[in-house]
């Protein structure tokens, strides 16, 4: 398994530096300079890395079309651990992206054994949250989307068992449906381009999902008919698995081009212009012309008891429907970066970077940068004690959830369309 990233493990720590160096994920800072407005999740180091985000930043800046797509596995109630991805999707929609949300019921059924009706119910909860946050766009359940399932089958023609073994550690005992859910996720990520034609797509995900992103980029590449390359003095359109008719169509599309065995050379053309035309020809010829998808990677907000926020550990997560009483209990009992005694805390200050309460603020509950900086300062200086800090965080979270639930009521009618 590549670097031991298992997207289905319930808890694990990921070595971010190693991901950068071993897998070519780039630090997010290399892409944000192209953005007209850098969102707080990028400024605050929550989104740490990306693949090919430059083309998304370009699209945002120039107002050209792009897609934002992600999926949620309906294997439990949504909770604050899912909020980051939801906000990222909504932000990209607000920046002009076409939204796509897949409810990964195939994955939940195959991997977690969830019943289809249970998937439906949890799926509706995820969608309710998304709409309340301002989501606009397409939503679907994997199991009900025929075009998606056909695309998954097509993707599966480019995936073999040794890859699944190398990437995910699949064995002889892995259920075929599990492998099919992988092909379905690949199809999810490419679906916006099936729907709207070739276009950049950003997939905001937790860093554990990178194996899926790499596999999808690989499949998208393999499904291309042509490779467009700059060769000395000309642009060369090379067939990867194009039918003769498609090669002929490329030749005809570019007057002055020369056709050879398996490639067409075009003198004095611009690479971008050729790329675009060739993608269109691929589609006319029954291909896909996929643009390799981009991704952003965020780190995980820890659970209130440390570790991962997970619906299987009730005291670790905050549900969107948490009662006031439970919310208070959970926040007040959470693991902090405070010292053993009040004296020590006053003298040494707390350690916000280790504190689940601080991170809850960093991720979601202190949207104003000045306010967050002040929490951090007062904590480090020993001016604020954990009891007060937790109480204030509880109040903010309570208000946040109350507002969000009100919005859910207002947008409830969108969930079932």
Q: Residue numbers of the site for ligand TRP (CB under 6 A)? A: 7, 70-73, 102, 104, 107, 185, 188-189, 203, 205, 209
Q: Is 142 in contact with 107 (CB distance < 8 Å)?
A: yes
Cα diameter, the chain: 82
CB–CB of 56/62 below 8 Å?
Answer: no
CB of 42 to ligand SF4, least distance (A): 22
**Among ligand SF4, ligand TRP, none, what does residue 210 contact (CB within 5–8 Å per kind)?**
none
Rule CB under 6 A: is residue 359 a binding residue for ligand SF4? Answer: no
Q: Among residues 3 and 388, whose Cβ is nearest to ligand SF4?
A: 388
Q: Tokens representing 80?
A: 């604050």
Query: For ligand SF4, what does the binding mask look like between residues 338 and 357, x meaning CB under 6 A?
Result: x-----------x-x--x-x
Q: Beta strands 98-103 and 138-141: pairing type?
A: parallel
177, two tokens? 């449906």
Decide: 350 and 382 in contact? Cβ < 8 Å.
yes
188 binds, among ligand TRP, ligand SF4, none (CB under 5 to 8 A by kind): ligand TRP
In the stretch 199-238, what mask flags binding to ligand SF4 with x, by CB under 6 A? ----------------------------------------
To the nearest whole angstrom, how small is the minimum distance from the Cβ of residue 85 to ligand TRP?
Answer: 8
CA 245 to chain centre: 37
**Comparison of 55 and 390: residue with beta carbon closer to ligand TRP:** 55
- From the list 67-75, 135-143, 266-274, 382-390, the region that binds ligand SF4 by CB under 6 A is 382-390
Q: In this complex, which beta carbon is closest to ligand TRP, that of residue 178 or of residue 398?
A: 178
- By C-beta, is 111 or 132 nearer to ligand TRP? 111
**Which of 86, 76, 85 lies closest to 130 in space, CA to CA?**
86
104 binds, among ligand SF4, ligand TRP, none (CB under 5 to 8 A by kind): ligand TRP
- Look at residue 108 and give the partner it binds from ligand SF4, ligand TRP, none, a contact being a CB closer than 5 to 8 Å depending on partner kind: none
Alpha-carbon span 142 to 188, nearest angstrom:
8
Alpha-carbon separation of residue 125 from 77, 135, 162 (angstroms): 7, 14, 36
- Strand, helix or coil for residue 70: strand
Q: Please compute, for residue 117, the number of CA atoms within 13 A of its CA located in the half-sphere on the CB side.
A: 0
Q: 104 or 225: whose CB is closer to ligand TRP? A: 104
Query: Contact at 8 Å (CB) between 302 and 46?
Result: no
Q: Which of 71, 200, 293, 337 binds ligand SF4 (CB under 6 A)?
A: 337
79 binds ligand SF4 (CB under 6 A): no
Residue 389 site contact among ligand SF4, ligand TRP, none (CB < 5 to 8 Å, cut-off depends on kind): ligand SF4
Give Rg (Cα) of the chain.
24
The binder of 355, among ligand SF4, ligand TRP, none, by C-beta within 5 to 8 A per type, is: ligand SF4
Q: What is the closest distance, in whole angstroms, from the C-beta atom of residue 47 to ligand SF4 in the complex?
A: 22
How far apart CA 402 and CA 398 sit, in angstroms, is 6
Residue 217 binding: pick among ligand SF4, ligand TRP, none (C-beta 5-8 Å cut-off by kind):
none
How many whole angstroms separate alpha carbon 5 and alpha carbon 7? Answer: 6
In this structure, are residues 141 and 123 in contact, taking their beta carbons and an 8 Å threshold? Answer: yes
Residue 267 vs residues 229, 237, 244, 263, 281: alpha-carbon distances, Å: 12, 11, 21, 13, 19
Q: Which of ligand TRP, ligand SF4, none interacts with 379 (beta carbon under 5 to 8 A by kind)? A: ligand SF4
> Could you tell me the CA-to-CA distances from 118 to 103, 142, 149 in Å, in that order?
12, 14, 21
Least distance in Å: CB of 202 to ligand SF4?
32
Q: Estimate to the nearest angstrom the gap between the alpha carbon of 181 and the chain centroid.
A: 17
Nearer Cβ to ligand SF4, position 289 or 352?
Answer: 352
Q: How far is the CB of 391 from ligand TRP (least distance, A)?
A: 33
Residue 27 tokens read as: 């630090």
Helix %, strand %, coil % of the chain (to 5):
55, 15, 30
Q: Which does 73 bind (CB under 5 to 8 A by kind): ligand SF4, ligand TRP, none?
A: ligand TRP
Q: Which does 205 bind (CB under 5 to 8 A by kind): ligand SF4, ligand TRP, none?
A: ligand TRP
Token duo for residue 30: 């290399």
386 binds ligand SF4 (CB under 6 A): yes
Query: Which residues sit at the interface with ligand SF4, rule CB under 6 A?
Result: 336-338, 350, 352, 355, 357-358, 379, 384, 386, 389-390
């Amino acid at each position: 398994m590549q670097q031991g990233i298992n997207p289905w493990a319930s808890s694990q720590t990921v070595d971010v530096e190693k991901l950068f160096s071993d897998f070519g994920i780039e630090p997010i800072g290399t892409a944000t300079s192209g953005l007209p407005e850098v969102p707080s999740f990028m400024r605050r180091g929550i989104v740490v890395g990306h693949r090919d985000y430059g083309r998304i930043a370009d699209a945002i800046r120039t107002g050209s079309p792009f897609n934002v797509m992600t999926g949620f596995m309906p294997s439990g109630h949504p909770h604050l651990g899912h909020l980051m991805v939801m906000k990222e999707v909504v932000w990209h929609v607000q920046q002009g992206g076409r939204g796509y949300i897949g409810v990964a019921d195939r994955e939940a059924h195959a991997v977690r054994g969830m019943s289809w009706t249970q998937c439906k119910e949890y799926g509706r909860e995820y969608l309710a949250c998304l709409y309340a946050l301002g989501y606009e766009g397409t939503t679907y359940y994997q199991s009900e989307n025929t075009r998606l399932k056909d695309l998954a089958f097509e993707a599966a023609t480019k995936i073999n068992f040794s890859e699944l073994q190398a990437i995910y550690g699949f064995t002889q005992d892995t259920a075929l449906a599990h492998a099919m859910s992988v092909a379905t996720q690949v199809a999810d990520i490419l679906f916006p381009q099936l729907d709207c034609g070739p276009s950049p797509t950003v997939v905001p995900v937790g860093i554990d999902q990178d194996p899926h992103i790499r596999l999808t980029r690989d499949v998208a590449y393999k499904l291309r008919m042509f490779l467009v390359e700059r060769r000395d003095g000309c642009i060369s359109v090379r067939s990867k698995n194009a039918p003769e008719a498609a090669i002929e169509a490329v030749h005809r599309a570019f007057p002055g081009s020369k056709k050879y065995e398996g490639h067409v050379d075009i003198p004095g053309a611009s690479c971008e212009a050729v790329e675009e035309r060739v993608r269109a020809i691929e589609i006319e010829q029954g291909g896909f012309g996929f643009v390799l998808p981009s991704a952003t990677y965020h780190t995980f907000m820890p659970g209130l008891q440390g570790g991962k926020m997970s619906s299987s550990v009730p005291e670790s997560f905050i549900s969107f429907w948490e009662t006031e009483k439970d919310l208070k209990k959970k926040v007040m009992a959470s693991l902090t970066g405070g010292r053993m005694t009040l004296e020590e805390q006053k003298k040494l200050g707390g350690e916000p970077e280790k504190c689940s309460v601080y991170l809850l603020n960093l991720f979601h509950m202190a949207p104003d940068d000045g306010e967050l900086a002040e929490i951090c300062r007062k904590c480090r200086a020993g001016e604020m004690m954990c009891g007060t800090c937790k109480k204030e965080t509880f109040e903010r979270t309570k208000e946040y959830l109350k507002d969000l639930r009100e919005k859910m009521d207002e947008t409830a009618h969108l969930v079932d369309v």
